[in-house]
Amino acid sequence: MEECPLNNKNEGARVLIVDDEIAQVEALCNTLSEQGYEVQGCHRAEDGLAALRRGSFDLLLSDLMMPGMSGIELMRQAQAIDASLVTVIMTGAGSIDSAVEAMRSGALDYVLKPFKLSVVLPVIERCLALRRLRRENEALSRQLREHAAELEATNRELDAFTRSASHDLRTPLNAVIGFSGLLSARYGAQLAGEAREWLQQIERAGLRMNALIEDLLRLSHLGKQALTLAPLDLRALVKDVLEDLQAARADHPVVIRVGALPVAMGDGGLLRQVFVNLLSNAFKFTRKTANASIEVDSEMQNGERVLFVRDNGSGFDMAQVHRLFGAFERLHSAEEFDGTGVGLSIVQRIVQRHGGRIWAEGRPGYGATFYLTLDWV
């Protein structure tokens, strides 16, 4: 064998050599040891298996044709002992077909006899590098499975806590809302103006707290709800939502325009919630606007179909846009506009579960526009 300079990233790797040619085993053991490998040589397949049972190896370098047991059978039994072991088969030029069969059976590569060290070393190094990648991938997969299990356990605990906390909060809260309502109905006329206002504030705060609990439950359950996908006529869906909202806000005249919206593939119930929340916000934030208007349409942006909901209401400062979709984030005070600050967070999660995106643009006093993408049919 020719000399080859020492440049081995796999130095210290353990190599098991099995070949019935004693001179071949000794030569390989000597040369690979000089390259920094820990090497053990055996002349019989049975001795090689015994060595594997006594200690671990990184690579098996086995002759293909040996008395009693072939290199392929040795490889199979060796991998039964250590599944992470990689194998390189040594064979003569006349047995290439058998070497290819060995690779089909699990060997990573083969080398032809007689061979040069400059040929053998790159094959060994490449196979050891693949083994290292396999082990790293296995470790990563194991970590991902462990993290997924931990996350699932945490989600179960969080869900149980949310349910328990919601139940525990509702009991005293229902008492506050109920008794404050009774007190206001029966004795409100007897109370002084300031005391009556205090009582109304207690009732409003209780109702707002109840709405927060409902939104918290809705938000926690959103990720677990299975999607039922079907083609959806968004224009019909938006029209239906607008009819309900306009009926509830008959005292709030708004000019509404709905364009020719595309058909989307999605969950009808969840996407309806998207438009209920977006359009409810549009009605709410145009409540104090003269000549209020709401527009729902779609347009092409950079070659992509984008749907938008636009109003000319109170708008918002773009410096605060990063807070817009945060749970329980509010850009307006509760005294100015009611709400819990969860609606847009719910909208974002639904759109993301459909593989889409949502973003917004606004300007104080000039309204807001919410853009979203979906899976268009």
pLDDT at residue 328, rounded to an integer:
55
Type of residue at 180: S
In DSSP terms, 266 is beta-bridged to 230
Residue 47: per-residue pLDDT = 93
Cβ contacts of residue 359 below 8 Å, gap of 6+? 370, 371, 372
Residue ranges of the alpha helices (H) in 249-365?
A: 268-285, 343-353
The pLDDT of residue 95: 66
pLDDT at 252: 76
CA–CA gap between residue 152 and residue 240 (Å, rounded): 37
Task: State pLDDT tens for residues 125-141.
Answer: 889 988 888 888 888 88
Any idea where the domains of the chain sit in the sequence? 14-140, 157-222, 229-376
Give the pLDDT confidence score for residue 338 in this predicted structure: 55
Q: Which residues of the chain have pLDDT under 70?
A: 1-11, 93-95, 155, 158, 161-162, 165-166, 215-216, 218-225, 250, 327-341, 377
Q: List beta partners, residue 42.
A: 18
- Choose which CATH entry (3.40.50.880, 3.40.50.2300, 3.20.80.10, 3.30.9.10) describes domain 14-140: 3.40.50.2300
CB 4 within 8 A of CB 49: no
Which residues does 39 contact at the CB level (< 8 Å), separation at least 6?
14, 15, 16, 17, 28, 29, 32, 33
What pTM does this model have?
0.52
Structure confidence at residue 256 (pLDDT): 94
Burial status of residue 242 (CB atoms within 10 A of its CB: 0-12, 13-18, 19 or more): buried
Residue 273's pLDDT is 87
Q: Please give the CATH superfamily to which domain 229-376 belongs.
A: Histidine kinase-like ATPase, C-terminal domain (3.30.565.10)
